[in-house]
Amino acid sequence: MTTHYEQIVFSLVDGVARITLNRPERLNSFTDVMRGEITRALDEAHDTPGLRGVVITGAGRGFCAGQDLADRKPLPAGQRRDLSEGLMTGYRPLLERLRSMPVPVVCVVNGVAAGAGMSFVLACDVVFAVESAKFVPAFNKIGLVPDMGGSWFLPRLVGEGRAMGMALFGETLTARQAADCGLIWRCVPDADLDKTLDEVSATLAQAPTKALVATRQALRASADNTLMQQFDLEAELQRAMGYTEDYLEGMTAFAEKRPPRFMGE
């Protein structure tokens, strides 16, 4: 039975889970409830037999404006808040679950992604964004450092020089600029938002899932491997792929000159 959610919308169709952040009146900013619900939805998807992929997007005109500061109870005058507590109890479980999903996670950014919302986007495997979307590092504007893994993802995606500029100056990037510098994969017209969501879902539902997951594993490992270590990993993964049903189907379809019908097995 599907869990009831208050601040997200969760659906599962043709083996693809779709999670929509659903606080449009607050630009889908994070609350304790929303973070917990996203984590539970990912858990539910993770435990679903035959899962082929996860697609994440937002409702309304924003994707996620970061932490909702109004969700935190005000402190008595003169007291300070230990900000690490919220990171460790709320954001870390979400980040760990997101990065450990057994299938590709694709984010389709429908509007502004700021602060922790931007970090959340960068934690996904592939990112599409509509042309009106904006990426706002934001942390330096309130005297903080990038969190939710943002300081780890940024230099790996765009290089240290660009990452320093983004983080230290906190300038807003358009979706087009984000695509041009490699922060995201692709920028699409705003009018194509729903079309992109459907096409991404259909692609994941029809893909050779095990091959995609193995490809992701190889790419993630490459930063820490030598060339020959990476070569050995490729050989190990390729050996495993050669025994999948999807590889057999792919070769059969190639010989028969027809599109393959991958089942994710």
Which pLDDT does position 1 carry in this prediction?
A: 42
User: What average pLDDT values come out for the chain (265 residues) when binned by 10 residues?
Assistant: 84 97 97 96 96 98 92 75 88 96 98 97 98 94 92 96 94 96 97 98 97 97 96 97 97 96 95
3-state secondary structure of 262: coil
Structure tokens at 22: 């659903």
Q: Residue 90 burial (CB < 10 Å; 0-12/13-18/19+)?
A: buried
Q: Where are the domains of the chain?
A: 8-206, 209-256
Which pLDDT does position 141 carry in this prediction?
A: 85
* Distance, CA of 227 to CA of 233 (rounded, Å): 10
Phi, psi (rounded to 5 degrees) for 147: -130, -170
Contacts of 112 (CB under 8 A, 6+ apart): 27, 61, 62, 63, 64, 65, 133, 134, 135, 136
Eight-state DSSP code of residue 22: -
8 A C-beta contact, residue 77 and residue 41: no
Which pLDDT does position 2 carry in this prediction?
A: 55
Phi-psi region of 264 (alpha: psi -120 to 50; beta: other; left: phi over 0): left
Contacts of 184 (CB under 8 A, 6+ apart): 109, 121, 127, 128, 129, 135, 175, 178
Domain 8-206, what architecture? Alpha-Beta Complex (3.90)
